[in-house]
Amino acid sequence: VEHVREMIESFKLPIVIPGGNMWASTYFTLTGFHAVHVAVGLLVFAIMLTMTLDVRRAGAIENIGLYWHFVDLVWIFLFPLLYLF
Amino acid sequence: MHDHSHSADAHGHAHGDQGIAKYIYVFLALCVLTGASFFTYSSAWPWHDQPQVGRTFMMAVSCTKAMLVILFFMHLKYEADWKYVLTIPASIMSVLLIMALVPDVGLRMRMYSPERREHAAQSPDRYKKLQEQVRQLEGVHEAPAEESHAPAH
């Protein structure tokens, strides 16, 4: 029982990740989520390329454009915050 | 949304009398503004001793760029007045959200364990100053209690 208890204790993470770094964690969270956002956008663009883009698709084109420019918008703030500050 | 009903406009973008030229101008403006952000790193930038001036400038430039992208690339300029119904309450709520987080940010170190404090990104000196300010806020004037249970390792 004592052995199991010690094993469970060893599984518990400390409140601080040893060797962790707040800036690095923030950096990779921000850029990681941005990368996911970009990847989804590229996937949607690839799907759109297979379609005939006419007036019937105007709504989809508009909304995918809005999604993509949101990715753009995020980078406008991420770039100076992460690389120029 | 304005409808100029140009038969030549096959892309469903009924707005935009100048066609693609407008987007080229916006793109060039975004390039110039990006250059303005980089200008804070040039030797001609007069406020190298005060980084906060450059940071404020860069954020102002970023807000201008965001405005251009939202207005032209995201077509907000050509939306009807209902755009205000969405954007004004959302803007007020976002400001309130930031204000609601200010106490959390300011007092974030108050409940730190010694272990957490040891690994804090912020320097201990700054931490002590903040602790002092918090104690003054609470009207506690005795010697800091957490000095007794300093990290054992």
DSSP secondary structure string for all residues of B72-129: IIT-GGGS-THHHHHHHHHHHHHHHHHHHHHHHHHTTTTT--HHHHHT-SS-HHHHHH
Q: Which residue of B has its CA nearest to A66?
A: B74
Residue B143 has pLDDT above 60, yes or no: no
Tell me whether residues A69 and B69 touch, CB distance under 8 A: yes
d(CA A39, CA A41): 5
Residue A81 has pLDDT above 70, yes or no: yes
Contact B41, B2 (CB under 8 A): no
The residues, ordered by sequence, that sit 6+ positions from B92 with a Cβ below 8 Å of its Cβ are: none
Residues written for chain B: 153
Q: What is the mean pLDDT of residues B87-110?
A: 90
Residue A74: CB partners within 8 Å, gap ≥ 6?
A: A34, A37
Q: Which residues contact A34 (CB under 8 A, 6 or more apart)?
A: A71, A74, A75, A78
What integer pLDDT is reported at residue A7 of this predicted model? 75
* Mean pLDDT rounded to a whole number for chain B: 79
Question: With 0-12 CB in 10 A as exposed, 13-18 as middle and 19+ as buried, what is A58?
Answer: middle
Quote the minimal CA–CA distance from B49 to chain A in Å. Answer: 14
| The pLDDT of residue B108 is above 70 | yes
Mean pLDDT throughout B133-152? 58
Question: B9, B45, B69: best mutation site toward chain A, by most A Cβ within 10 Å?
Answer: B69
SS (H, E, C) B31-79: HHHHHHHHHCCCCCCCCCCCHHHHHHHHHHHHHHHHHHHHHHHCCHHHC
Mean pLDDT of B82-90: 92
Q: Give dist(CA B70, CA B57) in Å, integer.
A: 20
Residues in B touching A23 (Cβ below 8 Å) = 121
A12 band by pLDDT with thresholds 50, 70 and 90: low
Which of A18, A22, A72 lies closest to B69 in CB terms?
A72
